[in-house]
Structure 1
């Protein structure tokens, strides 16, 4: 297809497509004449991925470039997934915070006990350490057993997430699935937990149904 058709089919404007081409976010088309090129389903899929990463994931073009570079590199789908998770989780400050080492020890113990095969230098790992450190500054009654129970539920949800993915398609499509699934599941689980809090509070206080 020509650029005009690519724009019409994808819903992305021609100036934006040209910008993506200049920035290397979109692979070049197959040149047919001096000033003409043809584009394929590969370009449509890549535009869909960029739209998801910049739209619902709200990543910057710089962050998207890192993910796409990993996608096109020699690494595995696991490496690309790690780059995507790093962008979604955000890189925390490397400054030492109170309770950081204690929190890291708690997380290390959970990961070891559950035999999780994960990267301990990832943004997701650091995000978990940061949250655990924050918990130490509150008056919430969280203990190691409760955190371990949360980890068990997280493992079940992570397994459900992976079950929804189609690993036989194009890598771009897989990333679209991962991002959409991760973000939509976050919203769904957060909403369900809020409803469960309403229920549990009423049960604990002995309040009848509204």
Structure 2
């Protein structure tokens, strides 16, 4: 398809597509002559992902470029490629953990470590403070402890096991796609677009179960 066809199929203006091409967010098309290039379904798929990241995720262009560089990095195995791309995405809570930890933070870190040991999680590309998700987990557990709502490993295990089942289902869906690049794109899109779906399903399920258990 020509650039005009790509614009029509995606609903993205020609000017915006040209901007994405200049910024390296969209790979160049295949040249068919000195002034025209041809685009395919992979460009349309990437364009939709870029729009989701920028418009829905409110992710800066520079960060989008970095995420996509990891998505396209054929030198990495799929686990490292997914880990690098997802770590680069902005995290809803990006805490900075102090070098000298207070007691609640130290306790939260030990709780997380104990939880992972009980689960048998190794997470080779998501180790310790390299992972925004790990830092956010430790910070959240520490805050709960400070406010008088401490959790134990036994409290967290059922939640973590449900999340493990969800992760297996995520990867099963991802593996339907034919290439590692498409699989990595799917993982990024799911992180940006689907996590709010899961959060709100949980809240709706809580409301439903509360009504069934306690009435109105």
TM-score range, shorter chain: 0.7 to 0.9
Q: Distance in 1 between matches of 2:107 and 2:11?
A: 50
Q: Distance in 1 between matches of 2:177 and 2:204?
A: 36
- 1:163 is aligned to 2:172: yes
Alignment of 1:8-157 (within 5 A): 8-73=8-73, 74-86=75-87, 87-89=89-91, 91-96=94-99, 98=102, 99-118=104-123, 119-120=126-127, 121-140=130-149, 142-157=151-166
Q: Distance in 2 between matches of 1:102 and 1:141?
A: 10
The question of whether the paired residues in 1 share the 8 Å contact of 2:25 and 2:68 is answered with yes
Deviation (angstroms), 1:124? 1.4
**Distance of aligned partners of 1:103 and 1:201 in 2 relative to their CA distance in 1, 3 Å threshold:** farther
Deviation (angstroms), 1:187? 2.5
The question of whether the paired residues in 2 share the 8 Å contact of 1:165 and 1:178 is answered with yes
- TM-score, with structure 1 as normaliser: 0.83
Deviation (angstroms), 1:202? 7.3
**Distance of aligned partners of 1:175 and 1:88 in 2 relative to their CA distance in 1, 3 Å threshold:** farther
User: Structure 1 residues 165-174 or 101-110, which shifts more?
Assistant: 165-174
The question of whether the paired residues in 2 share the 8 Å contact of 1:45 and 1:172 is answered with no
Q: Distance in 1 between matches of 2:154 and 2:178?
A: 40
Deviation (angstroms), 1:197? 5.4
Deviation (angstroms), 1:8? 0.9
**Distance of aligned partners of 1:41 and 1:180 in 2 relative to their CA distance in 1, 3 Å threshold:** closer
Deviation (angstroms), 1:65? 1.0
**Distance of aligned partners of 1:22 and 1:145 in 2 relative to their CA distance in 1, 3 Å threshold:** same
- TM-score, with structure 2 as normaliser: 0.81
Alignment length, in residue pairs?
Answer: 206
Q: Distance in 1 between matches of 2:36 and 2:207?
A: 59
User: Structure 1 residues 10-19 or 191-200, which shifts more?
Assistant: 191-200
**Distance of aligned partners of 1:43 and 1:36 in 2 relative to their CA distance in 1, 3 Å threshold:** same
Q: Distance in 2 between matches of 1:202 and 1:140?
A: 26
The question of whether the paired residues in 1 share the 8 Å contact of 2:21 and 2:27 is answered with yes
**Distance of aligned partners of 1:164 and 1:32 in 2 relative to their CA distance in 1, 3 Å threshold:** closer
**Distance of aligned partners of 1:198 and 1:72 in 2 relative to their CA distance in 1, 3 Å threshold:** closer
For residue 32 of structure 2, give the secondary structure of its aligned residue in structure 1: strand
Over aligned residues, Cα RMSD in angstroms? 2.5
